[in-house]
Amino acid sequence: MEWDDLRIFLAVARSESLSGAGKRLGLDPATVGRRIGRLEDATGARLFLKSPQGYALTEEGAALIPHAEAAEAALSGAQEVLTGGKGAGLSGQIRLGAPDGCANYVLPQVICAICDENPGLEVQIVALPRVFNLSKREADMAIGVSRPQAGRLTVQKLTDYRLHLAAHPDYLAKAPPLHALADLAAHRVVGYIADMIFDRELDYLSGLGAGAPPMASNSVSVQLQLLRAGAGVGVVHDFALPFAPELVKLLPAALGLTRAFWLIRHEGDARSARLNRFAGLLAQGIRREVQRLEALT
């Protein structure tokens, strides 16, 4: 059994398709299919079942995953040693998944500082309003807004962050008075699309009596732009307010939410000195940047 065959096996398992694996590896799907067939012949086991939905692991294929990932981690560790180990700057590509609020308002400053210190490093920020599937290697690590309860993962709390109600003065000038949370019922509220809230920690408006927001988006950035356009009242991250200085924070004594960012990694990556070093820099940078931005509000 060759490592190159295991590498292709992992790519198909994570992509659930020959074409997806081919894109990751720079191979055509037919070649990927032939290599999987060769691996199945060598092992004497059926590793995938093909269906209209794609390639699904068989029981034998699922059993091979941890061994293939162990080989992947060992090879990565060897490459780290040969390219300089702990004394050298970070290099290579790291893909980081993050919710779009963090990705838009916190990560640019943090990642810029890390890359300035490590010019050989390439960081890809994948900003999507959903939970990332690290087992399929959608990212090397991800930032989440809640601690996952299942999966072969390691989880580290990064920092708490705060949120408050905010609105544009132009909206407030023409809207009914807003002196208490009960007054929200008479206001136009901006928030998440209810059936697209991917984590319960993002359900900021439940219990406030505001009802379904008449203007909504699955993106934090779009919500902020709606508020800047005078669309209504919404819950805003304190760390995003410096990017919209015209917004006014409302009822801070009545409503102040605290949430947390978590760094989520694949369990097997704990053996990677390179990823551990990056994770340490990332955690330090995010804590510092959130504190800096929140102090400006």
SS3 sequence, 121-188? EEEEEEECCCCCCHHHCCCCEEEECCCCCCCCEEEEEEEEEEEEEEECHHHHHHCCCCCCHHHHHHCC
Q: What is the pLDDT along the chain (297 residues), one digit of tens a residue?
A: 788 889 898 889 888 899 989 988 899 999 999 999 999 998 999 999 988 888 999 999 888 988 887 777 677 666 655 555 555 688 888 999 999 999 999 999 999 999 999 999 999 999 976 665 655 667 889 999 999 877 778 999 999 999 999 999 999 999 999 999 999 999 999 999 988 888 888 888 887 766 689 999 999 999 999 999 999 999 999 999 999 999 999 999 999 999 999 999 988 787 788 899 999 999 999 999 999 999 998
pLDDT number for residue 228: 98
pLDDT number for residue 80: 56
Dihedral of the alpha carbons of 66, 72, 73, 75, in degrees to the nearest 10: 150
Query: Exposed/middle/buried for 263, CB within 10 Å: 0-12, 13-18, 19+?
Result: buried
Fill in the DSSP letter of residue 297.
-
pLDDT number for residue 142: 92
Q: d(Cα 67, Cα 74) in Å, to the nearest integer? A: 11
Where does residue 48 fall: left (phi above 0), alpha (psi -120 to 50 degrees), or beta otherwise? beta
pLDDT number for residue 208: 76
Q: d(Cα 171, Cα 186) in Å, to the nearest integer? A: 13
Please name each of the domains of the chain with its CATH number: 3-82 (1.10.10.10), 98-297 (3.40.190.290)
The three-state secondary structure class of 264 is strand
CA separation, residue 99 to residues 91, 105, 193, 221, 233 (Å): 24, 11, 15, 10, 22
pLDDT number for residue 131: 63
CA separation, residue 198 to residues 19, 215, 294 (Å): 28, 18, 25
Q: d(Cα 22, Cα 8) in Å, to the nearest integer? A: 9
